[in-house]
């Protein structure tokens, strides 16, 4: 099975076109998230005629307060985007007014995605896991990926109960909290992400062609009671299940 990267900021990397070519050459299925609707056009253009690169329509929670006027453009673009992200909530050192606006924006996005149906969302939830899950609810019509989850085990179990997937990056595999979270997640709900350029190894940003490093660490962490080859194949297959490809 092919490798995958469900959360990568292609547009924030130097030489995005060159990296897109590497993604194609190495056949790594990649969801290229964006931070606002205006950036989506650029990423969509790079993705044209690419088999393995999937552009995602996003409105990052840390930009939602200053770019809340872009929500109308987001909703207009929604019919042409199967993949949605980066979206969500972030309540780390945010003012009450900022967080309130984030919630209003996120509610509109979830409502519109639910109405459209069939969307695959990659979601940011730092210090706001409960609120994110409250807004999504338990009958959402699409699929959700909680990107770089760092919340409580209680909210993790709640997310698991509604069928959420979880994308794991290098930083998560190396931290004690990340390892505790990974241990709790069912094997069939694990996915790989780089979140490049926001994660790096030896001062070099992660890109989709280096996901094997993350997968190797993830397999080691999840192979206590299972054959490592079975664990590896299961994690890779999860992406195919997510996008409904055999």
Alpha-carbon torsion, ordered 82, 218, 20, 121, to 10 deg: 20
Cβ-contact 208, 3 below 8 angstroms: yes
**Would the annotation count 90 as a binding residue?**
no
Cβ-contact 153, 125 below 8 angstroms: no
**Would the annotation count 195 as a binding residue?**
yes
Alpha-carbon torsion, ordered 37, 74, 120, 128, to 10 deg: 90
**Would the annotation count 9 as a binding residue?**
yes
**Would the annotation count 225 as a binding residue?**
no
Closest CA to 172 of 164, 162, 163, 182: 182
**Cα distance between residue 151 and residue 90, in whole Å:** 12
Q: How many residues does the chain have?
A: 246
DSSP letter for each residue of 84-113:
EEEEE---SS--HHHHHHHHHHHHHHHHHH
Which residues neighbour 1 within 8 Å (Cβ) at sequence distance 6 or greater? 233, 236, 237, 240
Cβ-contact 157, 179 below 8 angstroms: no
Distances (CA, A) of 120 to 3, 100, 124, 184: 18, 24, 14, 23
Residues in the annotated binding site for a divalent metal cation: 7, 9, 86, 124, 147, 195
Residues in the annotated binding site: 7, 9, 86, 124, 147, 195
């Amino acid at each position: 099975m092919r490798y995958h990267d469900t959360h990568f900021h292609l547009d924030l990397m130097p030489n995005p076109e060159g990296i897109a070519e590497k993604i194609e050459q190495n056949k790594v299925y990649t969801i290229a998230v964006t931070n606002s609707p205006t950036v989506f056009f650029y990423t969509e253009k790079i993705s044209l005629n690419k088999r393995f690169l999937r552009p995602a329509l996003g409105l990052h929670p840390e930009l939602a307060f200053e770019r809340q006027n872009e929500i109308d453009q987001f909703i207009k673009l929604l019919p042409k985007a199967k993949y949605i992200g980066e979206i969500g909530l972030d309540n780390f050192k945010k003012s009450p007014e900022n967080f309130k606006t984030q919630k209003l924006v996120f509610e509109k996005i979830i409502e519109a995605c639910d109405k459209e149906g069939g969307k695959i969302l990659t979601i940011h939830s730092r210090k706001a896991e409960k609120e994110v899950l409250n807004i999504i609810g338990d009958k959402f019509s699409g699929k959700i990926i909680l990107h770089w989850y760092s919340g409580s085990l209680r909210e993790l179990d709640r997310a698991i109960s509604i069928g959420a997937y979880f994308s794991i990056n290098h930083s998560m595999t190396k931290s004690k909290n990340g390892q505790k979270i990974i241990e709790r997640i069912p094997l069939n709900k694990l996915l790989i992400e780089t979140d490049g350029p926001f994660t790096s190894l030896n001062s070099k940003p992660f890109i989709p062609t280096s996901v094997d490093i993350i997968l190797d660490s993830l397999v080691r962490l999840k192979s206590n009671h299972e054959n490592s080859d079975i664990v590896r194949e299961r994690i890779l297959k999860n992406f195919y299940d997510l996008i409904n490809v055999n």
